């Protein structure tokens, strides 16, 4: 639960500072931050990070929430099925993207977001999260896509 972090402006600013420092140090050229908006938390982290980096933000949302033509994907969750969408013109082929979210658990949602961006032929530089639940092995679903988490719990 990142709610306490969101309520504390100093802590939230520090979080964005840490993420910004990591992205700047790791990727000299980046076009977009993409945020998973299934549960709204990636959406809370992505826009301020993108703004700090001087780049755009691309939402990846649950089905039916985005206007215009979209690409969608169905995927399995530990408790059922879900569907994600991205606008068909969200990125151009070859544009460099970092995907952010608050938590990586089983990895299904992050993998689905990666697949959507791959369909649009984006270059996914990294999947970036605040918290990783290592025992659930979600990062294994990301295959060869680089992954970084600020905090890890077993």
Catalytic residue list? 41, 78
Retrieve residue 99's tokens.
């995907």
Instruction: Name the CA radius of gyration of the chain, rounded.
Output: 14
H or E element at residue 151: strand 147-153
Total Cβ atoms within 10 A of residue 51: 14
At a CB cut-off of 8 Å and minimum separation 6, what does 87 contact? 58, 66, 67, 68, 69, 70, 71
Buried b (16+ CB within 10 A) or exposed e, 69-98: ebbbbebeeeeeebebbbbeebbeeebbbb
């Amino acid at each position: 639960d990142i709610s306490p972090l969101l309520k504390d402006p100093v802590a939230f600013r520090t979080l964005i500072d840490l993420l910004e420092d990591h992205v700047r140090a790791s990727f000299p050229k980046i076009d977009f931050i993409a945020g998973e908006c299934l549960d709204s938390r990636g959406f809370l982290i992505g826009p301020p990070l993108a703004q700090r980096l001087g780049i755009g933000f691309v939402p990846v949302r649950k089905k039916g929430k985005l206007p215009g033509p979209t690409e969608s994907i169905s995927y399995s969750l530990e408790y059922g099925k879900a569907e994600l969408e991205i606008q068909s013109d969200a990125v151009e082929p070859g544009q460099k993207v970092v995907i952010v979210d608050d938590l990586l658990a089983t990895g299904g949602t992050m993998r689905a977001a990666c697949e959507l961006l791959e369909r649009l032929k984006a270059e996914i530089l990294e999947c970036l999260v605040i918290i990783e639940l290592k025992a659930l092995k979600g990062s294994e679903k990301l295959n060869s896509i680089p992954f970084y988490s600020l905090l890890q719990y077993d």
